[in-house]
Structure 1
């Protein structure tokens, strides 16, 4: 039953920004509880806090690195998690690989053919 329980208390960065924290204020379980963003009770009081940065799907990787630099300058740690690979059936994966190979050959043939321009 413990496998599905969270190992941290998640909080979105945008909710922290709208909660009214001033520059230099400490963001902790106690301050978030005072602002009404979370209600840690029981085992949650001992869990670490995880701040989620919701980024646009078409995000700029440089923006992530600049955000990381700013957070590390403020003595915070930032871990960028890789996205999950979508599972596809083996037969579909095989067909996708064949299609990619076919179009790669076609692109190579068209780029080497001087009459295609």
Structure 2
């Protein structure tokens, strides 16, 4: 059903350069919608932003996106831009499964604490 549907709104570096951002400006999904680089209607309005590496960037910008391509990340770091990777949405989990996961995490946290306590007691006695 979902085959072939995009997971991100892709934006190339050449498009960001052509948009005329000034030194130190913030580039995010909201700012790109406001200037008209991204269509704020339709399915794209709910997708996260991904920066692609086609083109070059000559100004230092603060870029906030969910994902960066490898080439885009290299070019942006070379240009001195600050990159912020935004967190994704949490996957919905059935309440009973979430409860079991929480129990398991609590159990293993206690196990790790007990093991760490035993290791420190051995080191103190040695």
What is the TM-score with the length of structure 1 in the denominator? 0.47
Higher strand share: 2
Higher helix share: 1
- Relative to the length of structure 2, the TM-score reads 0.44
